[in-house]
Amino acid sequence: MNLIQTLEQEEINRLGKKIPDFMPGDTVIVSVNVVEGSRKRVQAYEGVVIAKRNRGLNSGFTVRKISSGEGVERTFQTYSPLIAGIEVKRRGDVRRAKLYYLRERSGRSARIKEKLPGKSSAAAAQ
């Protein structure tokens, strides 16, 4: 590892954020710290991860949800202090890294199959 990668890894460890392992196609709930005037509150943003960018400290991901019949996408920086937490609600079974094709789809055609645990992981759990 070169010097910059080492420094970035130290910074990630210093932040101490517990980021769950999620992939494009997964449905996640992102808890975002929102500041309104002098008040600070946590807002939940739930949607499907359509893209993930792994760049160490500069990692990010894009979440898409349908709000009032309109598609809304929001990009988050993984290690941002504005993110209070990330929770994986459902695992999606997709074959692509970027799910931009979901932008043109709506309703049933935009649905993503759920990834069910395989036999090997079920046997290991017992």
| Sequence-ordered list of residues with C-beta below 8 angstroms from that of 98, at least 6 positions apart, any chain | 24, 50, 51
The pLDDT tens digits for 106-121 are 889 989 999 988 876 6
Kindly tell me if the per-residue pLDDT of 122 is higher than 70.
no
- Residue 115 near residue 95 (C-beta atoms within 8 A): no
DSSP H/E element including 12:
helix 3-15
Which structure tokens are listed for 113?
Answer: 């199959």
- How far apart are alpha carbons 72 and 69 in whole angstroms? 9
- The proportion of the chain whose per-residue pLDDT surpasses 70, expressed as a percent, equals 94
The 10 Å Cβ neighbour count of residue 108 is 6
pLDDT at 124: 61
DSSP H/E element including 65:
strand 60-67
- Residue 44 near residue 30 (C-beta atoms within 8 A): yes
Kindly tell me if the per-residue pLDDT of 15 is higher than 80.
yes
Q: Per mean pLDDT, which range of 16-20, 61-65, 71-75 is the poorest?
A: 16-20
pLDDT at 34: 95
The pLDDT tens digits for 67-84 are 998 999 999 999 999 999
pLDDT at 123: 62
E-assigned strands of 17-59?
A: 27-36, 39-53
Task: Provide the sign of the torsion angle of the four alpha carbons 19, 24, 29, 32, taken in this order.
Answer: positive
Domains of the chain: 18-104 (2.30.30.790)
Kindly tell me if the per-residue pLDDT of 125 is higher than 80.
no
Let me know how long the chain is.
126
